[in-house]
């Protein structure tokens, strides 16, 4: 029986050779909760590529998995949410010994169910990577059983806790060599649509609003679809950054420090704010029409729109908000949207952009004729060609 230990940093390497990891015997497996023992056990290990994993398995509870997990991981809880509570209560109210007996029975039953449900049809060549919170008892228990069956099993040293630390440390390193072109412009000018057009034409795009599941404004929530946790947002940003080519420019939308309730990594927002900008311009009637399309769920639910407007009372005053609410109830939502743009969003956005994006005054202008796809595609081609020409001139 053997379980092969690997650090998160080694697992992150995408093009490493097949590993020659040391096997971990039964006695050493009992020490997997001890980081020093783990470090010693893998001291002679070579880097392992993620392409060698046929599955990444998170054996923590459902709630732990939902909070954050390795991208692409599947969840095989060896103790589910309710079982963790049961074991924890026994530990506090009775004894550690009684809690361990009860936990062992639950873990054994759950492992059996996972094997029946997921493993029976797998070939012997199947190689999973497993982790729990700290690379200890939970992942050790199921990895031991899988290795007894005959699979080559990899256990993440330090578990999720080490993975999270590695992600946090890796993000600044990934950002440092990247070159961004910031798509700037007032609310409703089509920045997100332009990003999508750029992506469709093969340009590199970092869409932070998509990763954060939010449109980055007071009214920017997406109904029925909550934002990820801060930790998982960080992980999604990290995953996207890993796939970017530093030799090519990356288009990103101008953002504040937060997208909804989520904070953009400090190193990323600082890099964006010092990057070159392209300023998108669109006529006011088209901006209003675009927002009516993109926020159709608010147009179709006036009371929800009115409820969301209350968040602006402290900034715009009760009298203004009450007037907007009355206009909304009387069907004049387009008028309210235009007022929101001219009185709230535009002044706020312009002030923030001038204060934070140091190269805004040098921005190239992108004049959109209308809000529809053909205009976005034409603007995307223009930007790609402009940046390509600028890059060529730089190397002449």
Q: Name the residues annotated as catalytic.
A: 132
- DSSP 3-state assignment of 4? strand
| Pairwise CA distance, residues 210 & 214, whole Å | 7
Asked if 265 contacts 171 with a C-beta cutoff of 8 angstroms, the reply is yes
Structure tokens given for 102: 């009860």
Q: SS3 string of 172-203?
A: HHHHCCCCEEEEECCCCCCHHHHHHHHHHCCC
- Tokens 């390193």 identify what position? 173
| Pairwise CA distance, residues 212 & 252, whole Å | 14
Count of beta carbons in the 10 Å neighbourhood of residue 122: 15
Q: Which residues pair with 108 in a beta bridge?
A: none
Nearest alpha carbon to residue 237 among 261, 262, 208: 208
Nearest alpha carbon to residue 359 among 247, 254, 203, 250: 254
The set of residues, in sequence order, having a beta carbon less than 8 Å from that of 171 and lying 6+ positions away, is 234, 237, 238, 241, 265, 267, 268
Tell me the residue length of the chain. Answer: 396
Structure tokens given for 163: 């993975």
């Amino acid at each position: 029986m053997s379980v092969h230990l690997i650090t998160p940093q080694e697992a992150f390497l995408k093009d490493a050779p097949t590993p020659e990891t040391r096997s971990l015997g039964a006695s050493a497996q009992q020490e997997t909760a001890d980081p020093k023992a783990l470090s010693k056990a893998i001291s002679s290990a070579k880097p392992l590529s993620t392409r060698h994993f046929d599955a990444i398995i998170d054996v923590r509870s459902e709630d732990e998995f939902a909070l954050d997990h390795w991208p692409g991981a599947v969840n095989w809880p060896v103790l589910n949410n309710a079982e963790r509570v049961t074991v924890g209560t026994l530990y506090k109210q009775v004894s550690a010994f009684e809690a361990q007996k009860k936990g062992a029975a639950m873990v054994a039953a759950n492992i059996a169910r996972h094997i029946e449900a997921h493993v029976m049809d797998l070939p012997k060549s199947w190689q999973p990577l497993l982790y729990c919170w700290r690379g200890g008892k939970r992942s050790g228990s199921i990895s031991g059983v899988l290795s007894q069956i005959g699979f080559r099993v990899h256990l993440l040293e330090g578990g999720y806790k080490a993975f999270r630390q590695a992600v946090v440390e890796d993000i600044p390193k990934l950002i440092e060599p990247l070159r961004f072109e910031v798509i700037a412009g007032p609310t409703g000018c089509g920045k997100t649509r332009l990003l999508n057009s750029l992506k469709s034409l093969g340009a590199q795009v970092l869409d932070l609003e998509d990763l954060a599941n939010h449109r980055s404004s007071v009214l920017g929530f997406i109904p029925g679809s909550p934002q990820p946790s801060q930790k998982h947002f960080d992980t999604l940003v990290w995953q996207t950054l890993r796939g970017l080519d530093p030799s090519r420019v990356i288009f990103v939308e101008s953002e504040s420090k937060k997208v909804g309730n989520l904070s953009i990594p400090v190193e990323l927002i600082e890099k964006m704010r010092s990057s070159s900008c392209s300023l998108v311009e669109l006529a006011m009637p088209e901006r209003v029409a675009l927002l009516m399309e993109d926020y159709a769920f608010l147009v179709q639910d006036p009371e929800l729109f009115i409820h969301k407007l209350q968040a602006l009372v402290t900034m715009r005053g009760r009298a203004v908000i009450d007037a907007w609410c009355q206009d909304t109830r009387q069907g004049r939502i387009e008028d309210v949207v235009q007022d929101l743009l001219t009185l709230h969003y535009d002044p706020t956005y312009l002030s923030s952009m001038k204060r934070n994006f140091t190269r805004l005054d040098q921005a190239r202008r992108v004049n959109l004729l209308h809000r529809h796809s053909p205009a976005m595609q034409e603007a995307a081609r223009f930007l790609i060609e402009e940046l390509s020409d600028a890059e060529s001139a730089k190397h002449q």
